[in-house]
A and B are shown apart, each in its own frame.
Chain A
Amino acid sequence: MRFVFRSVLLLLALLSFDAQAQLSIEITGGGANQIPIGVLRFAGEQVLPQSISDIVEADLQRSGRFRMLFAGNVDPLPSEVAQVNFTDWKNRSADALVIGSVARLADGRFEARFRLFDVPKQTQIGGVAFTMNAQQVRTTAHRIADLIYEKLTGDRGVFSTRIAYVVKQGSRFELQIADADGAGAQTALASREPIMSPAWSPDGTRLAYVSFENKKPVVYVHSLVSGQRQAVANFKGSNSAPAWSADGKQLAVVLSKDGGSQIYLIGADGSNPRRITNTASIDTEPYFSPDGQSIYFTSDRGGSPQIYRMSATGGEATRVTFDGNYNVSPRVSGDGKTLVYIAREGGRFQLKSFDLASRQTQGLTDGQHDESPSFAPNGKMILYATQISSRGSLAAVSIDGRVKQRLSVQAADVREPAWGPYFNN
């Protein structure tokens, strides 16, 4: 069964959301071959504190994979297949149609039900009923959008995932976590000193990051469940660039304790550091391949920073990038097929993708200071940091470079994005 959700019902955190710190998302480019879809208002949804169908529609639109058709003026709203006017939707060139209904249950909770139709075939291709409380409207809407997205594109949806990023406001730094649509931002750590390089553990319960609270870079692991944090690499010199192994048991980190910046493996609790590079050059920005077998990293051993690959236990490294004299920040897609990195060309730093099989390179962005790429867990979008009118901002681009989004926070500098994993695997 594809969708077996974890049945543990967790309490929603009752946190105050700072409206000013809310990320807003603007779509700046559309995708090719968009699927025309109508999302009708869910019958009876006015009993909810917010419209569930609006959130579903916004999710689908933001992905760039759909062309949203005007779905107003339908009265009465259908909630069963027999009530759908397929001829009308065929005339509107819809390929897919979403209808739904919401009802208040006797216990005060709500049932939200949706159905997805293949309009040309006039058949139902999906439908789920969710029981939820008033605080779970967004969560439920993202789940519905995920199901629709997967049914129609064949790729798993990422609307229920989360992102982490750093906000700098004046001299205050905050590590924040928000839903993938930028809503519901929560602060995990606030500091007067810089925070950088957040990295999600594979199960999404912990973040590793670098904090300068001790006047130098130290690597911490922070539990998002308990709020507890622990310094896991605090050696003499600098400690930075944490990356999780695929099983979440180890971190690759960069330490300068033995001279120079070199890559080490440590337990996720900071135990047993082992050096896995041995050069007089810079070796940094480790990133595990999804199969856990290799580590991609940046090194200037050839005279300029380039991307290399080695076994996850160290040893001989193979150079991966050859064009240009500054290629850094390697990240690999979940299917292991695509490498993205930042290249400097003519003084501009831009995101490139590299097909590891065909060895074809493609430019994905056209900014001046693009950095810190992070793949969505389905590998279809890449979140990265950019600058808009000399202020840090987040942006996302699809793997084919066609869909572009911009995420910004009013009056603050946003940087260091990291897209979290799927929950409920």
Chain B
Amino acid sequence: MGMKNLFAFVAVAALLAGCASTPIEESKAGVEDRTPTTAVLAQPGISTVTPVGPNADQVPNELKDPKSILSKRSIFYDYDKYDVKDEYKPLLQAHASYLAKHRDAKILIQGNCDERGSREYNIALGQKRADGVKKILQLMGVQEGQMESVSLGEEKPRCTETTEACYSQNRRSDMLYRGEY
């Protein structure tokens, strides 16, 4: 008799014992025999992930010169908003010109949110911010293949205090060139 059948048999016997006028076995009446199973999870096998870091040597000096507008990479937003304010248009224009001139250059646009609200909804909101930047750069002549827009949601905050000053730093899109992420 297989284990399962054995259990079923014991269970039925226990059930019968409950109905019968004389218990089947005095010492064990009304007690079913079981062996506990351990949850299916056997050994999760810890996976450790070690990501590859940025490599600043790959980044042209032109993009790193603090005196150049090209060294500025961030666009900030109002709460729950994803429209790019006019003040950032010159910054986007400068990057659009650089990318149009260097067709082999590529950027990653990362959208970020403050910590309030659903983490997954914030992924979508951050994506909307990054997509908005990508769309403007495209209109300014950058080829789609040079850009990828992604969202970090609220997962990579630049500032971690629960103040509006801090939140406003985290509602942000960043433009990163190869070697910077």
Contact = CB atoms under 8 A, between A and B. Distances in A.
A205 B121 CA distance: 27
Given A4-B7, A190-B48, A213-B49, A285 B121 contact: yes
Specify which of A143, A240, A349 lies most central, judged by the most chain B CB atoms within 10 Å of its CB. Answer: A240
Interface in A242-289: 254, 256, 259-261, 282-285
Contacts of B125: 282
A192 B150 CA distance: 19
B165 to A, nearest CB: 16
B4 A7 contact: yes
B90 interface: no
Give the secondary structure class of B's interface: mixed
Contacts of B40: 10, 203-205, 224-225, 423
B120 A127 contact: no
Contacts of B38: 9-12, 136, 139
Contacts of B131: 256, 259-260
A215 B43 contact: no
B39 A162 contact: yes
Interface in A228-252: 228-229, 236-238, 240-241
A193 B44 contact: no
Interface in B111-131: 115-121, 123-128, 131
B36 A212 contact: no
Given A9-B35, A329-B118, A237 B41 contact: no
User: Interface size class for chain A?
Assistant: 35 or more
A217 B153 contact: yes
Nearest to A283: B124
Given A132-B35, A349-B116, A372-B119, A237 B152 contact: no
A345 to B, nearest CB: 12
Given A113-B31, A194-B155, A342-B118, A237 B127 contact: yes
Given A131-B35, A188-B44, A196 B119 contact: yes
Interface of B: 2-4, 6-8, 11-12, 27-28, 30-51, 108, 110, 115-121, 123-128, 131, 148-153, 155-156, 162, 181
Shortest beta-carbon contacts, A-B, top 4: A227-B45, A7-B3, A261-B124, A216-B150
Interface of A: 1, 3-13, 15, 80, 113, 115, 124, 126-132, 136, 139-140, 143, 160, 162, 177, 186-194, 196-197, 203-205, 210-217, 222, 224-229, 236-238, 240-241, 254, 256, 259-261, 282-285, 298, 305, 326, 328-329, 342, 344, 349, 369, 371-372, 390, 415-416, 423-424
